Structure 1
Amino acid sequence: MKLFTVKNVAMPSMIWTAMSLLAGAPAFSQKAVPLKNQPLFTRFNYQGNDRVYADNPLREGEFYSPILQGCYPDPSITRKGNDYYLVNSSFSMVPGVPIFHSTDLVNWKQLGHVLDRPSQLKVEKAGISAGIYAPDIKYNPHNNTFYMITTQIAGGIGNMVVKTQDPAKGWSDPVKLKFDGIDPSLFFDDNGKAYVVHNDAPPRGKALYNGHRVIKIWEYDVANDAVIEGTDQIIVDGGVDITQKPIWIEGPHLYKRNGRYYLMCAEGGTGGWHSEVIFVGDSPKGPFKPANNNPILTQRYFPKDRGNKVDWAGHADLVEGPVGKYYGVFLAVRPNEKGRVNTGRETFILPVDWSGEFPVFENGLVPLKVRTNMPAGVSNQAGRNGFLPNGNFSFTDELTASRLDHKWIGVRGAREQFITSTKEGVRINPFPVSIKATAPTSTLFYRQQHAHFEATVQLNYTPATDKDLAGLVCYQKETFHYVFGITKKGNDLFVVLERTENGKSTIAGSEKLVAGSAVQLKVAAQGDAYIFAYSTDGKQFKTIGGVVSGDILSTDVAGGFTGALIGLYATSANDVQVP
């Protein structure tokens, strides 16, 4: 997990408050409303139009990075034979922890999600930036088992682990682990011994400055899935050089190479000072010596106004790729032209040079480029043969399949609690809560994956009262979002646009709607400039509210750790008041 910073000042207090206050909640339930009042969504289309891809067409032997566009932060990767598996933080998104598979580190398919059952995920009352932080995936060859260890800041769970022998066939229920802190990672040594490393607070009364953290290690009992009491010790205090007051040493991973142990961590907090650093020792418990060329990955030294800016690089994980070549996955952001981050922290990949004592991300200490050279012998199949698209792709979903695409998620509650898949499209059973609630809402979400994009959906819907609304939302969190939908005032139908900033809502525009026909709703963005429009004939679109700012959809304004989401939304507790 990474901590959002403004001007390099970490803001962790909400995390620890959430850790202590959030408790479990029963699954949200809702009685079905009459079918005629259940909106029918069909024919969703998303198109990315970022100029960086148009200006940098791929050449032979290249692929685009980020490999996962949109809110896919805190990547972790592992390998079994020729199979690579990658996971990401999911916070309060449901299902939790998306998992991807590749055989070449270039072409990826989503297998599904690690946490896909209510028994695994307790986020019903969690804010959007609580829930699942910094999952770590590891394969243990000694028992042919995959492990995913993470911190669930919800439901009173804390640090936990799940496991499987086949990542494509489901994971166990969580085992709670008895230690504090965040960002746990497992390490399985050649001799079969196992360890957990994680971020934690310094001993009580020993914190020297705001952001002072430590890395701890525990021995891990594989047979009983528990840390061994009394084996914990601090292996890094503060960071590379505590005299410089480094902040937020976190996201640790242990590796073994040529008989030595390497500890790689993020340092600097998510934000402009983010980086990746590395240490070496002769034992898993250290002592650990920092590399003299730290950081080994960062974007913090370059002009703020550089073109095609990629920033905040860090929170990395390493894997040995084809023919012994190492690669590193990490998070970074691509701000829009106003410098705001709407797409969230994305997953990037770079080759790693480990010809010397320490690994170094190739081209990770210069401004990051959009194109990366592929491993030898690999062909780019992005968007073909079931592999994820990349660059300026489109995604079209008629919403008529019996099972939703993995790209569709809920927030705080499972999609299956409020949707019905039909041959005509997806019907949403409206919950009696609005998008402003810190509760499960009846909303299907798709990640915003470009700064410049257009998304449309067709909606068949006749609200019965002014408490009914259905349409699109652009959502950063429960207190920062746009609602663009159809509701009722008196005997008339209206399409209305509402902006909510820090919990305060204002109407940006509305217009009376002729009843009796399907409506297409559209949101389009050109960086910070968003427009919301509708059409009753599928050809001519009319804008509601003019051009509005996407500022509230950025982490810079809204705070938190997620990217913007585009939602298909319905509610029977509408509070958007038509003027």
Structure 2
Amino acid sequence: MNKQKNGHAMMFSVFLALFALTGMQTYGQKNVPVFSEFVYQGNDDVYKEYQLEDDEFYNPVLQGCYPDPAIVRKGDDYFMVHSSFAMAPGVPIFHSKDLVNWRQIGHVLDRPSQLKVHDTGISAGVYAPAIKYNPHNETFYMITTQFAGDFGNIVVKTKDPFKGWSDPYKLKFNGIDPSLFFDDDGKAYVVHNDAPDPGKELYQGHRVIKIWNYDLENDQVVEGSDKIIVNGGVDLSEKPIWIEMPHIYKKNDKYYLMCAEGGTGDWHSEAVFISDNPRGPYEPAPSNPILSQRYLHPRRNNKVDWAGHADLVKGPNDDKYYGVFLAIRPNEKNRVNTGRETFILPVDWSGKWPVFENGLIPLEPKLKMPEGVENKTGQNGYFPNGNFTYKENFTSDKLDHRWIGVRAFPEEFASTSKKGLTIMPFEENIKAMAPVSSLFHRQMHKSFSATTTMKYKPKSEEYLAGLVCYQSETFNYVFGITKKDKEYYLLLERTEKGESTILASTLIDIKKPVQLQVEADGDDYRFNYSVDGENFQNLGGTVSGDILSTNVAGGFTGALIGLYATTANDAVPE
């Protein structure tokens, strides 16, 4: 496994070195953009109103599109993974010692042999990873569903998450949201969401939870061992929908099955079941759901909603459990531009059932830290939290892990040098369901600004480079420089449901680097530019961020801010 990983890493290193050299050589070419700076600044009111005390930290712990969290602990080390859909690399992985301060250590699916999402929509690809540790063979496992590349359900493994993961093992079962469970006796199991048996579907959204015995020697489910352990959900008579993302835990010789229920929207929740045997039968807790925001006033202050898709872990002091889960923070128009984010709550498991503390009342923006923990977020490589400023000049040899591609690994089109970031444009534009030559950063606040400095001289009207705000291939804004006849233009294009409209365009002086900026105040977005490095002008007025919202565009991702180039531009200045 390590030899295989090292081989792929060496190939990527050679490719990256060659491309970096190419990037430096093409800096002088006038049709290749070079981005010399990027500044992202968050400005949410909630973080101004709720100042942290010394023993507090902010919730969500990861802002922006880091959905479907799953967590594991080995010794003092916590590892957490998230869905990545058609983003590349896939499955971001974070490390912590205390559940408060997190560093991104990379991605689990970090090379093409593991991730094949080049021809799929933004919300397909990699769904709902689960990460587990098997003490019997001292191995970490990440199991997930990849709706692309003829993969389906897969598992990868490693002895050390800091050193990379194996190529995928394809698993022989249908359904989604798989999770592994390793029992004290060394036996292993897979649980997952699936459709009911043929002919037994009772209503739309009727799903089941299945369990299989798992063969650790061959990394495969045992044929014929599948069994339905939950039919429909907590109470089938109430027609529960979308029972999914199961996890099994063992405590006091009892087996607990925890699942999301209600779909990943405003009826989302978490439910728990108990059994004397990992293969069931399972009985639901009388107090289900144990986590949800669905019963609350729709116009509550600092609204957090859609809570569910949870995973449990022991806290750093071993005397308390914690649960990580997804939820959303809609803006003033109830739009979800930051996507599904990662939240955390303490869990009281002193009795028979685990209970999320304050998980059924409005979630607060901040929490008390575990005893003895110091808040170091935003320092020494720990991920920032609250309102923060992130600056990047792209002169390091490697990109920060927060930068991603869509359907294409950044190494395929982006390189860094002393001049900044060079993007070699693909012959596809941002609206294609194909690899996109755009380097993306997640939108992490409802109110923010993102500013980049770009040197670019497009060759023709097919060439364009600049900023994009991207929810999907059919919902996005393009704010870029192109050419028409012999003149250079800056334009703003809005694409909704695949239909594009030029909102505004203007002649622009490109003799010097141009600064491009998007700033948002909730649903109000403004696109600005500067040709002198000091004075900004607006183009297109105030526009709506509606098309950047998950609940308008559909799908499962949050908005992304991209540094973009193409040689297949179809946006023509007016």
Q: Which amino acid in 2 is paired with 1:65?
A: N
> Does 2:536 align with 1:569?
no
Residue 538 of structure 1: CA displacement?
A: 1.5
- Equivalent position to 1:431, from 416, 426, 429: 426
Q: Give the match for residue 7 of structure 2.
A: none
Note the alpha carbon deviations across 1:259-298, whole angstroms, 9 max, x for none.
0000000000011100000000000011100000000000
Q: Give the match for residue 395 of structure 1.
A: 390
Q: Give the match for residue 538 of structure 2.
A: 543
Q: Which amino acid in 1 is paired with 2:420?
A: G
> Does 2:486 align with 1:491?
yes
SS in 2 for 1:323: coil
* Rounded Cα–Cα distance in structure 2 between residues aligned with 1:468 and 1:453: 28
Query: Within 5 Å, which residues of 2 pair with 1:299-448?
Result: 299-324=293-318, 325-448=320-443
Note the alpha carbon deviations across 1:80-109, whole angstroms, 9 max, x for none.
100000000000000000000000111000
Contact preservation (8 Å) 2:456, 2:510: no
SS in 1 for 2:48: helix
Q: Which amino acid in 2 is paired with 1:392?
A: N
* Rounded Cα–Cα distance in structure 2 between residues aligned with 1:117 and 1:385: 27
* Rounded Cα–Cα distance in structure 1 between residues aligned with 2:505 and 2:551: 28
SS in 2 for 1:302: coil
Q: Give the match for residue 170 of structure 1.
A: 164
* Rounded Cα–Cα distance in structure 2 between residues aligned with 1:148 and 1:339: 34
Residue 60 of structure 1: CA displacement?
A: 2.1
Query: Within 5 Å, which residues of 2 pair with 1:474-485?
Result: 474-485=469-480
* Rounded Cα–Cα distance in structure 1 between residues aligned with 2:189 and 2:533: 58
SS in 1 for 2:547: helix
Query: Within 5 Å, which residues of 2 pair with 1:455-534?
Result: 455-534=450-529
> Does 2:132 align with 1:138?
yes
Q: Give the match for residue 195 of structure 2.
A: 201
SS in 1 for 2:370: coil
* Rounded Cα–Cα distance in structure 1 between residues aligned with 2:29 and 2:90: 30
SS in 2 for 1:202: coil
* Rounded Cα–Cα distance in structure 1 between residues aligned with 2:415 and 2:147: 30
Note the alpha carbon deviations across 1:411-443, whole angstroms, 9 max, x for none.
001111111211110100011110000000110
SS in 1 for 2:237: helix
Note the alpha carbon deviations across 1:325-371, whole angstroms, 9 max, x for none.
10000000000000000000000001100011000011111100011
* Rounded Cα–Cα distance in structure 1 between residues aligned with 2:172 and 2:557: 27
Contact preservation (8 Å) 2:38, 2:392: yes
- Equivalent position to 2:270, from 254, 264, 276: 276
State, as a whole percentage, how many aligned pairs show the same letter. 66
Residue 199 of structure 1: CA displacement?
A: 0.0
* Rounded Cα–Cα distance in structure 2 between residues aligned with 1:300 and 1:42: 45
Q: Give the match for residue 4 of structure 1.
A: none
- Equivalent position to 1:116, from 110, 121, 141: 110
> Does 2:93 align with 1:99?
yes
Q: Give the match for residue 254 of structure 2.
A: 260
Q: Which amino acid in 2 is paired with 1:78?
A: V
Note the alpha carbon deviations across 1:449-480, whole angstroms, 9 max, x for none.
00000000000000010110000000000000
Q: Give the match for residue 6 of structure 2.
A: none
Q: Which amino acid in 1 is paired with 2:322?
A: Y
Residue 514 of structure 1: CA displacement?
A: 1.6
SS in 2 for 1:552: helix
* Rounded Cα–Cα distance in structure 1 between residues aligned with 2:36 and 2:560: 18
Q: Which amino acid in 2 is paired with 1:526?
A: D
* Rounded Cα–Cα distance in structure 2 between residues aligned with 1:369 and 1:351: 13
> Does 2:187 align with 1:186?
no
SS in 2 for 1:347: strand
Residue 549 of structure 1: CA displacement?
A: 0.3
* Rounded Cα–Cα distance in structure 1 between residues aligned with 2:261 and 2:182: 24
Note the alpha carbon deviations across 1:96-133, whole angstroms, 9 max, x for none.
00000000111000000000010000100010000000
**Over the residues paired in the alignment, what is the CA RMSD in angstroms?**
1.2
Contact preservation (8 Å) 2:441, 2:561: yes
Note the alpha carbon deviations across 1:223-267, whole angstroms, 9 max, x for none.
110000111000000000000000000010000000000000000
Q: Give the match for residue 23 of structure 1.
A: none
Superposed structure 1 runs of 4+ greater than 2 Å apart = 30-36
SS in 1 for 2:298: coil
Residue 539 of structure 1: CA displacement?
A: 1.2
SS in 2 for 1:442: strand
Query: Within 5 Å, which residues of 2 pair with 1:37-56?
Result: 37-56=31-50
Contact preservation (8 Å) 2:86, 2:117: yes
Note the alpha carbon deviations across 1:30-72, whole angstroms, 9 max, x for none.
9998833110002100000000000000012110010110000
**Structure 2 unaligned runs (5+)?**
1-14
* TM-score for both structures, normalised by structure 2: 0.95
* Rounded Cα–Cα distance in structure 2 between residues aligned with 1:180 and 1:359: 30
Note the alpha carbon deviations across 1:180-213, whole angstroms, 9 max, x for none.
0000000000000000000000000100000000
Q: Which amino acid in 2 is paired with 1:168?
A: F
Note the alpha carbon deviations across 1:518-574, whole angstroms, 9 max, x for none.
100000000000000100111111110000000000011100000000000000111
**Structure 1 unaligned runs (5+)?**
1-26
* TM-score for both structures, normalised by structure 1: 0.94
* Rounded Cα–Cα distance in structure 2 between residues aligned with 1:478 and 1:166: 36
* Rounded Cα–Cα distance in structure 2 between residues aligned with 1:468 and 1:323: 56
SS in 2 for 1:300: coil
Q: Which moved more, 1:81-90 or 1:507-516?
A: 507-516
Note the alpha carbon deviations across 1:383-418, whole angstroms, 9 max, x for none.
111111100011100111110000100000111111
* Rounded Cα–Cα distance in structure 1 between residues aligned with 2:328 and 2:501: 30
Q: Which amino acid in 1 is paired with 2:428?
A: V
Q: Which amino acid in 2 is paired with 1:89?
A: S
Contact preservation (8 Å) 2:510, 2:531: no
* Residues matched between the structures, number: 551
* Rounded Cα–Cα distance in structure 2 between residues aligned with 1:302 and 1:533: 38
SS in 2 for 1:113: strand
* Rounded Cα–Cα distance in structure 2 between residues aligned with 1:409 and 1:524: 21
SS in 1 for 2:73: strand
* Rounded Cα–Cα distance in structure 1 between residues aligned with 2:451 and 2:111: 30
> Does 2:224 align with 1:230?
yes
Q: Give the match for residue 294 of structure 1.
A: 288
> Does 2:550 align with 1:555?
yes
Q: Which amino acid in 2 is paired with 1:152?
A: Q
* Rounded Cα–Cα distance in structure 2 between residues aligned with 1:427 and 1:220: 46
SS in 1 for 2:317: helix
Q: Give the match for residue 74 of structure 1.
A: 68
